[in-house]
Amino acid sequence: MADTALLVIDMQNDFCPNGALAVQGGDEIIEGINALMDEHNCIVLTQDWHTAGHSSFASSHAGKSPYELVEMPYGPQVLWPDHCVMGSKGAAFHPDLRTDAAQMIVRKGFRTEIDSYSAFFENDQTTATGLHGYLQERGVKNLVLTGLATDFCVAYSALDAARLGYKVELRESLCRAIDLDGSLKAAKAGMLEAGVTIA
Ligand code: VGL
Ligand code: ZN
């Protein structure tokens, strides 16, 4: 499994219970993810990492509420409660997550004017995070995906990874979803269509 990497998406305080954008049961998957780290020798964590006043925050748009949709120059964007502001406690990894085994931490969403769900490309689908280059240089061909949230950052990462030519396996039991208006069902259908294995 030398050519396989474990990708752990956004296991941060703000996405866990009591966080600013809590995903139901987000903390339930930590133990399983920690255990899975023992089976991998390439481990990458991602961290949602926004500026204060980020354009994906509803609070940055007069008259808008969280979960409303707005049109950005790069396309439609869901507005969120303020979350994962760089350097804040909410942006820190959940304290129970093992971070020692990770060799790479990718931060994303740090440009005020553009959101980044995927670990590979920002939401304009062209601005790269650099992760693809890192994985290529390490000879990685297969990816195992876990983390939060199944229907946003995990799904966008899985779709980009499949498009880039990786063989992608989603560990569904080690993910939790936001499930906005059927977004989980749509995300799963999209991933299956892209050739992602849902285990
Ligand atoms: C996420 C919404 C906003 C995620 C990040 O990690 O899925 N969702 N920012
Ligand atoms: Zn975010």
Taking 90 as the threshold, does the pLDDT of residue 35 lie above it? yes
Mean pLDDT of 186-195: 98
Taking 80 as the threshold, does the pLDDT of residue 97 lie above it? yes
End-to-end CA distance of the chain: 17
pLDDT tens digits, one per residue of 66-78: 999 999 999 999 9
Ligand nearest to the CA of 54: 2
138 contacts: CB under 8 Å, gap ≥ 6: 5, 42
Between the CA of 117 and the centroid of ligand 1 the distance, in Å, is 6
What's the pTM value of the predicted model, to 2 decimals?
0.98
Cα diameter, the chain = 51
Ligand 1: does its nearest atom lie under 6 Å from the Cβ of 149?
yes
Confidence at residue 2, expressed as pLDDT on a 0 to 100 scale: 83
Cα separation, 125 vs 160, in Å, equals 9
Cα separation, 78 vs 92, in Å, equals 23
Radius of gyration (Cα) for the chain, nearest Å?
Answer: 16
pLDDT tens digits, one per residue of 119-153: 999 999 999 999 999 999 999 999 999 999 999 99
Mean pLDDT of 11-30: 98
Cα separation, 89 vs 16, in Å, equals 12
pLDDT tens digits, one per residue of 40-62: 999 999 999 999 999 999 999 99
Residue to mutate, 10, 16, 110, 145, ligand 1, most ligand atoms under 8 Å from C-beta: 10
Beta bridge partners of 142: 4, 167
Taking 80 as the threshold, does the pLDDT of residue 1 lie above it? no
Taking 90 as the threshold, does the pLDDT of residue 189 lie above it? yes
